[in-house]
Structures are given as structure tokens and as C-alpha cells.
Amino acid sequence: MAPGGLLSVLAKNRRAIGVREALAGDHASAHRLIASGAETSPGNLGLETRGDTAEALDALAAGHGLTPLPWQGVRIFHDHLDDTWAPGRAAYEAALELEWTASWRSPYRDIGRLVHTVARRPERSRP
């Protein structure tokens, strides 16, 4: 990674495991995932995928000499809608603005389906 470069990581949010199932009405699966503190859950393709936390990803980046920047939650509210949601332009723009605003703020970002972390490689120091 070049000096001054950015590393962007988008990963399943471990803290949100079970939320999708709960909002879909699959309370038994949600309860099992949440009560057990599961680190994996089925993804969109039905395959088990692990979740990560922003803090763990930031620590990993810092351990490799990068400087973590503020992280975002992604797909907080609208990830849980089915394929029939077909908003008009104004409703879509309002939904997008809501997601963007919530993505930077806890506790909302903490339950986003995904976490987006960014870290920067420091510039080379000049002699």
C-alpha cells in the first residue's frame, strides 16, 4: 500500500448477527444466533459467513502500521426490506439520507448489516 494510501474493508457486522432473522420473523433462528453470541450466520446465498467488528478490523489495520479512520455501519434499515419495496425518487432520496446519517452514529451503525472500516498508510516522513 502506497504512503498516504487508503485501505477500505467492508465486512459482515458480527454485532448484527440475528437481526435480519428477527426482522424477518424467524424468531427461533434469531434467538439461537443472539443468545449464543454466534460469530457466523447464513448470508444471502445461504452459506455460513463470519462477522467482524469495526474494533477488530481497526486493531488489525493498526497492527500493520495503518491509522484507522472513523467507521460506518452499512445497510442499517433498508437491508431488511423485501424485493417489493419500490420507492419513488423522493422516498428513495429520503431513505438514502437516513441511511447516510445513521451510518456514522451509534447505536444505529452498530446494527448495520455490514461495517465499513477505512485506514490510511502514513505518508513517508521527510528528513
CA diameter of the chain: 61
Spatial CB neighbours of 103, under 8 Å, sequence gap ≥ 6: 72, 73, 74, 76, 109, 112, 116
Task: Examine the pLDDT at 126 and tell me if it is beyond 80.
Answer: no
For residue 127, the model assigns a pLDDT of 56
pTM given for the model: 0.88
Dihedral angle sign, alpha carbons of residues 61, 107, 110, 94: negative
Average pLDDT, the chain: 93
pLDDT tens track for 81-104 = 878 989 999 999 999 999 999 999
Task: Examine the pLDDT at 4 and tell me if it is beyond 60.
Answer: yes
Q: What are phi and psi of 110, to 5 degrees?
A: -70, -20
pLDDT tens track for 30-64 = 999 999 999 999 888 889 999 999 999 999 999 99
